[in-house]
Chains A and B, each alone.
Chain A
Amino acid sequence: MATETAAEIQLVVFQLAGETYGVDINHVQEIIRMQSITQIPRTPVFIEGVINLRGRIIPVIDLHKRFNLPRAELTNNTRIMVVELGQVTVGMIVDSVSEVLRLPAASIEPPPPMISGIDVAYLKGVGKWNERLIILLDLDRVLRESEQRQLQQEIAAGVDLR
């Protein structure tokens, strides 16, 4: 029994530009409806701004812009998925959140070289479930390294519209 559960991972599955993605449920703090976001000047374009999550100020990023995916319309299904990784709590805008799945670790394969426009560097792998393909995001990479670097570069370059 124990080995079976250990060999499983639990995923929160969401839709983004027509593809199905999953992230480890342990990193997902909560899922909230889209709400008014306060824009912050001089930040990279994918940072939508900040929201008030029960008194906490949480930054929100748009994964479409983050991965240069085609822009999606806001619908009734649009959600902000609040993920927590180390010291960082971030809301990610996704098209919809569909379900929570258990996936046998064995069914996860390394990501193919090119997949729907997202850089493989941000993927952990691809899982198959009932003939569906679920792309596993590497949150660590998405949230930490690259964004921090990009942020710093853009700020250093002095993003300025004036």
Chain B
Amino acid sequence: MSELDMSQYLGIFLDEAGEQLQQLDEAIVKLEQTPDDLDLLNTIFRAAHTLKGSSASMGFNRLATLTHRMESVLDLLRQGKLAVSREIIDILLASLDKLRVLKDSIAAGNGDEGELGDIVARLEAVLAGEAGASPRDKVPGSETLTLDDIEQNVIRAAQVKGFQAYEIRVQLEEGCQMKAARAYLVFNNLKEAGEVIKSVPHTQDLEAEKFEDTFTLAFVSREDADTLANIVKSISEIKNVTVRPISLDEDRLVAAEVSALEQENGSLAARAKANSKASEQRITQTVRVDVQRLENLMNLVGELVIDRTRLAEVGNGLKARLGNEELLETLEEVSLHIGRITSDLQEEIMKARMFPIDQVFNRFPRMVRDLARKAGKEIDFIIEGRETELDRTVIEEIGDPLIHLLRNAIDHGIEAPEARLKAGKPRHGTVRLRAFHQENQIVITVEDDGAGMDPEKIKARAVAKGLISREAAARLGHREALDLIFLPGLSTSEKVTDVSGRGVGMDIVRNHIEKINGTIDIRTTPGKGTCFTIKLPLTLAINRSLLVQVGGRVYAFPLANVVEIIDITPADIQHVHRQQVVVVRGRVLPLIYLGQALGLARAMPAGENYAVVIVGLAEKQIGFIVDNLIGEQEIVIKSLGNFIGKIPGIAGATIMGDGSVALILDVRSLVDNLGVEASRELAS
């Protein structure tokens, strides 16, 4: 195999291994909460098995060795020979971490080098200590039902016809005299309700009484589980019956087949089950596409959008000149149609760039679990809206801020169990992570029912750290005081832990979110809890902007940065330390002519009225005087390219409907560029 081929496979292998590790991670954390979920265990087992196979075939022996041990432990769990315990979960998670290290090492080109350490020994200890571990409901003489391909196919065929497959485990009473006869009765009575696919032990052995007191059947039927259980229970000398639906290893039922099942199946419960199964297991067909290709498509569509506008403009121009001509009406029709199609195309491509936010959320359960254990807290972590979709670029940026917020919630928000009980709250704290769409935005909330924040304490802290003066603190309202936590260098936690509380964090969180044109808001009630609300644009490629004119040129302010627009007269402009300021509702805002801020003009042109765009960035608010306001518009952001590079104050360019180019302002760097005087003005 040539080197190129190998590297191609390696990429796929690493991608898949990453997905499998993530899947394992999530599933194992879930397993801790629902240790009896056999489906889940099977999922975990399969993922580990697949990983083992692919590692071995790629020649990564350490990876294969470790997954093999994990698989053995998982197998014991699956067979019920080992019970799920916190220790075993810990060991499994630690194994995953080690696997990740190995995978990263492979990705870095170092092969799966590195010591496996004691993790293999720990897994082996679990395997060896199997006898000592408490087995899950192990029934002597019973065997787990495994189905071969033919039997699985029979079940699949039956499922299409509206049958459901069950595993029926029958336990006879101890000392039952005629075991073979009882087994025969079971078979006979069940025959009315469906068909036996398989029996363990085999029917011949049952007839020859070659079994302890338990046997297991694979059975297909249109009846529900309770009915089947009752049929068996009606026979005397039966001690126990369990009936469980069988889910095939790879449920390849397509939606159509499921709906066929629904139609034929009269039982409501079964229908509900089929529905939930379909939504869980429907495999969506996907294609991996180079991200760059999507970006290119997006750019091309951006151009189409512009041409669509131009086409409409040309049409209008012609109409004004030529009046109502038949040909013009056709042109108008075509132009409208192109417009609609372009909008649809744009939307579809936007969607193609969208990912469910679960891509970010899926690593959090593990993180929360680990942090909570480390901090000695008991936390129920609830995630809602995993399927909410947003742009790839936004997804990449949102992870870190959310980690910060979750850490804060666990470390500072949720109290220790004893403290919670004392405060009359349940032992378990709740951290809730939610994502949902609201108009053209994604809203993400991180909420805890912990101790909340006290604005007075925050103020005192900020004063003690010399971040604001005592007088300034006294003037701050409830909300403004809360905003202080976004100042660099402020930490409200009394003790510094290795999780959070070093006074870096909230300012970084805010920076990150603003970088992607988002906003963050806090609501908190002392003693009740805290809720952070993050609002993000759906995409970074298209931006709602406020267009303004300065020196005959058009500039675009990202709307996310615009707080409000006011009209002032020269009399409203005051001076503080040679800095122009304006007082807006008692707040003193620095004022600058946009032309000056951009370095394009030395002075502001004289006038009767000025339009002022007030922009907000973190704790700063600044007013920019502009010549004219044009209006709001959706614009496609384009880079200025490598040749020009990064220009302070300019985020990029966009093409307007008339084909001209307008520059998009980078409000953050524009404000930063104005120097300290602006921010000092506000802090004091």
Contacts and interface: CB of A to CB of B under 8 A. Distances in A.
B661 A52 contact: yes
A38 B661 contact: yes
Contacts of A152: 645
Given A40-B663, A57-B641, A155-B647, A50 B599 contact: no
A90 interface: yes
Interface residues of A, number: 31
B553 interface: yes
Interface stretch (B112-120, B239-247, B479-487, B649-657): B649-657
Interface string A132-162: 0000000000010001000110010001111
Contact of B600 (A87, A155, A161): A161
A90 B643 CA distance: 8
B662 A38 contact: yes
A43 interface: yes
A39 B647 CA distance: 12
B368 to A, nearest CB: 44
Contacts of B663: 38, 40
The DSSP consensus for interface residues of chain A is mixed
B553 A38 contact: yes
A147 to B, nearest CB: 8
A103 to B, nearest CB: 28
Contacts, number: 85
17 contacts: A38-B663, A40-B644, A40-B647, A47-B644, A49-B661, A50-B661, A52-B659, A52-B661, A88-B643, A151-B644, A151-B645, A155-B645, A159-B599, A161-B600, A161-B601, A161-B602, A162-B596
B648 A155 contact: yes
A70 interface: no
Q: Which 6 A-B pairs have the closest CB atoms?
A: A55-B303, A38-B661, A41-B598, A161-B599, A57-B653, A52-B655
B660 interface: yes
B590 interface: no
Interface in B616-669: 638-650, 653, 655, 659-663
A59 interface: yes
B162 interface: no
Contacts of A161: 599-602
Contact of A42 (B306, B553, B598, B638): B598
A39 B553 contact: yes
Contacts of A162: 596, 599, 602
B599 A160 contact: yes
B450 interface: no
B401 interface: no
A50 B653 contact: yes
B455 interface: no
A47 B646 CA distance: 14
Interface of A: 36, 38-43, 47, 49-52, 54-59, 87-90, 143, 147, 151-152, 155, 159-162
Contact of B642 (A36, A51, A56, A88): A88
Contacts of B601: 161
A54 B303 contact: yes
A41 B641 CA distance: 15
A39 B595 CA distance: 12
Given A55-B303, A57-B653, 5 more contacts: A50-B653, A52-B661, A56-B638, A87-B642, A89-B641
Contacts of A57: 638-641, 653, 655, 661
Contacts of A36: 660
Contacts of B640: 40, 50, 57, 59
Nearest to B602: A161
Nearest to B302: A55
A6 B503 CA distance: 67
A59 B599 contact: no
Contacts of B596: 162
A41 B600 contact: yes
Interface string B384-426: 0000000000000000000000000000000000000000000
Interface string B584-624: 00000000000010111110000000000000000000000
Contacts of B643: 59, 88-90, 143, 147
B625 to A, nearest CB: 14
A59 B306 contact: no
Nearest to A161: B599
